[in-house]
Structure 1
């Protein structure tokens, strides 16, 4: 029982890390999900949930499809997904109210840490498929890196906080939750809805919150199936594309830039670079620790098989 409770807490903490990142412009929830090892479980679980719900809505009323719907739900790792989603929601709200203002006040320092984190994280999708890259893979990654670089260089806009606009923007921004290299908060910031979204949450504007939630659910339901398909059928190529997107998105985290994405002359270089190195080191240590734990598990499994 203790181990079960501990695993629930661990998954909630991992989900909390993803939720926190979604509140911070420039940090991709998908990237953090890769870091904490939740990515495949989130995408796969969400995909099976969408398929199961679709079966119930379209097939069950016609007297068929119930078994297939249940089969989809059985493939979801609920013990991982539910705690992770709860932790994600709680951390997202907390980060919007508490952490995001600090990032806005100390943007250069925060971006320096995040730049180092994401830079080191490129190793995760780069090696995630366990296959070597060929020239075509590097070219494909470069194309998507340039695209991501261009999009994150665009100056911000100011869209009206109309419910229809909020719905559409939320349906796009939520895709960042499952797409490493793209930040949902950065999308909101780019279209001028980041501050209105925070204000709506603080003031409990249920019309705004409802439109945002409905758009997020719609976008997630549509996009997650597409990404699940590519991960299951073109896993290596998908990781190549994700690596390119993450690399290009580093433009959004460059510490020396204005609110309009204009590159500025470097200031306070020693401290900023030190924070970059610190962020990079955190991920390197995490990767090495995870590799060591995985090797230990493999050795223990080998000993158990020999003893049996």
Structure 2
């Protein structure tokens, strides 16, 4: 592989990895922007088929599927993602401690702006049934994030594996942030801390969950997107809207909402966060229009 190709794909991976760490910014959306979304999804698909053939005792068929995976593209992307996650996590953790209101407001702005992506994907096919699903998803997410002590400040092994598997589905569904999902269930802080502290036990369980997610949940999500696209996107939009409760800037240690105090900083952060995502979406549309000319 040419060094320039490796560097280019590693840079793409760094952009995706940075997005995966920031709640409200979708790694799947960034993968679309930098032109590697299809490579990632197809690679997952071929990997799942290869594992299936191996389990059925068909190594030749498994080998054919492995050879279809574009490792020269995906491995540099993976390298860049890991590098970006380690770097970005070290920056975000102290900010979450020092300026929680500012950070939550910025994340909320990013999430609000990113709602445009799944809404655009639904487009004119939006019907009353989709609105009903959206509302149900919003109610469910709002209720879940309203539960007392809902945050998983000290998640046990099965929780780490399960929620890591669900969060990694964000790579399959542009517009949905995996790190925001972790934030909504209270696992974002512990996960960022585990990355910075090199907690190999926690990270090992997280990687296991992510692999399971790629081999199962992500493929299930892809099937729903292929067969019930608008319904699935409507549910995701509802979940995103309802989960905004977890990003109310002013809240106590138990995630209970507090009254507004000095809104200037959080409002500016919210607008800046929304602006970052809006610029990202605008760049995606521009690149797509250029590629079709």
Cα offset, 1:48, TM superposition: 2.9
Return the alpha-carbon distance in structure 2 between the equivalents of residues 275 and 268 of structure 1.
13
Return the alpha-carbon distance in structure 1 between the equivalents of residues 154 and 109 of structure 2.
34
Cα offset, 1:243, TM superposition: 1.6
Return the alpha-carbon distance in structure 2 between the equivalents of residues 40 and 244 of structure 1.
26
Return the alpha-carbon distance in structure 1 between the equivalents of residues 277 and 37 of structure 2.
16
Residues 148 and 254, structure 2, Cα contact 8 Å, conserved in 1:
yes
Q: How does 1:253-272 map to 2 (within 5 A)?
A: 253-272=247-266
Return the alpha-carbon distance in structure 2 between the equivalents of residues 232 and 256 of structure 1.
39
Larger radius of gyration: 1
**Unpaired runs of 5+ in structure 1?**
22-26, 300-308
Name the counterpart of 1:12. 13
Cα displacement string for residues 30-49 of structure 1 (whole angstroms, at most 9, x for unaligned residues): x3422552666544432331
Q: How high is the TM-score relative to the length of structure 2?
A: 0.81
Name the counterpart of 1:59. 57
Cα offset, 1:148, TM superposition: 1.5
Q: How does 1:227-242 map to 2 (within 5 A)?
A: 227-242=221-236
1:91 and 2:88 aligned: no
Cα offset, 1:121, TM superposition: 0.6
Cα offset, 1:92, TM superposition: 2.3
Return the alpha-carbon distance in structure 1 between the equivalents of residues 107 and 146 of structure 2.
17
87-96 or 239-248, which deviates more: 87-96
**Unpaired runs of 5+ in structure 2?**
171-175
Return the alpha-carbon distance in structure 1 between the equivalents of residues 273 and 203 of structure 2.
33
Aligned with 2:29 (options 20, 34, 39): 34
Name the counterpart of 1:189. 186
Residues 18 and 88, structure 2, Cα contact 8 Å, conserved in 1:
no
Aligned with 2:211 (options 214, 217, 237): 217
Q: How high is the TM-score relative to the length of structure 1?
A: 0.77
Name the counterpart of 1:139. 132
Cα offset, 1:216, TM superposition: 3.5
Cα 1:198–1:282 shift into 2, 3 Å: closer
Cα offset, 1:204, TM superposition: 4.7
Cα 1:88–1:168 shift into 2, 3 Å: same
Q: How much is the aligned-residue C-alpha RMSD, in angstroms? A: 3.1
Count residues in correspondence: 283
Residues 14 and 83, structure 2, Cα contact 8 Å, conserved in 1:
no
Cα displacement string for residues 164-208 of structure 1 (whole angstroms, at most 9, x for unaligned residues): x32443232331121425535326735xx944x556555555444
Q: How does 1:111-260 map to 2 (within 5 A)?
A: 111-156=104-149, 165-179=156-170, 180=176, 183-186=180-183, 189=186, 194-195=189-190, 201=195, 204-260=198-254
Residues 108 and 273, structure 2, Cα contact 8 Å, conserved in 1:
yes
